[in-house]
Amino acid sequence: MPCCVLFFSNSYSHHPLDSFDASELGPFLDSLGDASGEHCARVTSGVRAWTSGLRAGNDEGKLNAALTIPYEGDEANSYRYGLMIADVLENHPAFTKRAQRMRDSILEVLSNTPLSPTDENESRASRTIRLRNQYHLSYACYRKAQILESAGRASEATPWYARAFAGAPEEGHETFHEIHVMGGPQNFVEAYVKNLCSLGQQDKALTELTKAAVGRESARQKLRELFQQLRPSSDFDAYWKTAFLRSLPEAPEFSLRSITGATLRLSDFRGKWVLVDFWGTWCPPCVQQMPALDSFYLEMARRRPHDVAVISIACRDEIGTVRKFMQSRSFAFPVVMTNQQVERDYKIRGYPSHFLITPEGRSISLGHFGWESKVSTYIDG
């Protein structure tokens, strides 16, 4: 495969372009499309169409040409650039309706595309495409809502904001570039809540924001502000605890063998906060966070042994390898070996993965990184 094809298939078609000047990048992309072969032309077709639209100014002929450049197939990240082209053309009165038809067409296609995992062994590439498409669908709904709202049709915008929020993918590296390049929201909740409040539906706004706040500290702070505004004499912490616990799923039970030969059951820790860590000795990011995990375990063992515990689950490892790893670094936290079923039960998609189990036995997903501040928010809150 030619160098330029590999570069664009792994970079321009999927990564941020805001550092490039469209007037300089566009002709270069055009030359690739014209001279570098069918595959390279296909890979760059989406970004070429978008940059053509950016360079067109008010020239209707060039704007129309931007619509005629084919952009198809996931290699070109077609939905991203199709939605971005619609955003560009919508600013030109002669093309507003065509832009909206383009967005509606993408919305219809994605609405009929399976966006839930169909295989528990879903590959990383398939997961990335699925989550990216989820974001594109939410973005299309969000933009449709914005257009309705700007036309004074706020009540008609509400179901589209709701759909954007409900269908938004979990935050992660798979959608980072979509958010960054497209300039859309991360989770779509703020626009939805603002719309509800403008229609006098503050109680519903509070309910929807409560859903978004589970596992998202930024949303929780916005929830606190809205709650105090709507219910100044009520106790937010009491409200949050009740609403929060009600929304959490039950933590799947497990019984696993530790590297010392003992059996650890999650149910044995009922009444405690339990930090559960999925990791492997073969995983560099996992190994990097081990000193922090050990420090947390030792501090909790000293200060709060009655209500905080740690269980570390070694995955895709041999017990002898894990024992040597723990001994060589003098780590003290308890380690159990996976039985594979526990990874399926917790829907582990990458390592490390962290969960906080509440004293009532419900599960909070903490994601892959930054677990320290998230844990403190809950156990000290």
Q: Which of 211, 226, 241 lies at the terminal end of a domain, its last residue? A: 226
Give the domain CATH number at 284: 3.40.30.10
Count of structural domains within the chain: 2
Residues 211 and 329 in one domain: no
Per-residue confidence (pLDDT) for residue 41, from 0 to 100: 57
Per-residue confidence (pLDDT) for residue 22, from 0 to 100: 46
Domain hosting residue 218, numbered range? 3-226
Residues 193 and 54 in one domain: yes
Residues 84 and 15 in one domain: yes
Q: Which of 179, 207, 226 lies at the terminal end of a domain, its last residue? A: 226
Residues 218 and 267 in one domain: no
Residues 220 and 264 in one domain: no
A 10 A CB-CB count for 126 gives: 13
47 domain-assigned: yes
Residues 219 and 327 in one domain: no
Q: Which of 189, 211, 226 lies at the terminal end of a domain, its last residue? A: 226
Residues 316 and 185 in one domain: no
240 domain-assigned: no
Give the domain CATH number at 84: 1.25.40
235 domain-assigned: no
Residues 26 and 148 in one domain: yes
CA separation for the pair 89, 99 (Å, rounded): 6
183 domain-assigned: yes
211 domain-assigned: yes
Per-residue confidence (pLDDT) for residue 373, from 0 to 100: 81
Per-residue confidence (pLDDT) for residue 2, from 0 to 100: 41
Residues 87 and 209 in one domain: yes
Torsion sign, CA atoms 218, 168, 16, 107: negative
CA separation for the pair 166, 162 (Å, rounded): 6
244 domain-assigned: no
Place of tokens 């041999």: 318
CA separation for the pair 317, 338 (Å, rounded): 9
Q: How long is the chain?
A: 381
Residues 116 and 178 in one domain: yes
236 domain-assigned: no
Residues 8 and 83 in one domain: yes
pTM exceeds 0.75, yes or no: no
Q: Which residues of 149-158 are buried (b: 16+ CB within 10 A; e: fewer)?
A: beeeebeebb
Condensed to tens digits (0 to 9), the pLDDT of residues 110-132 reads 998 887 765 556 777 888 888 88
Which segments of the chain have a pLDDT < 70?
A: 1-76, 117-121, 214-218, 381
275 domain-assigned: yes
Per-residue confidence (pLDDT) for residue 337, from 0 to 100: 97
Residues 200 and 53 in one domain: yes
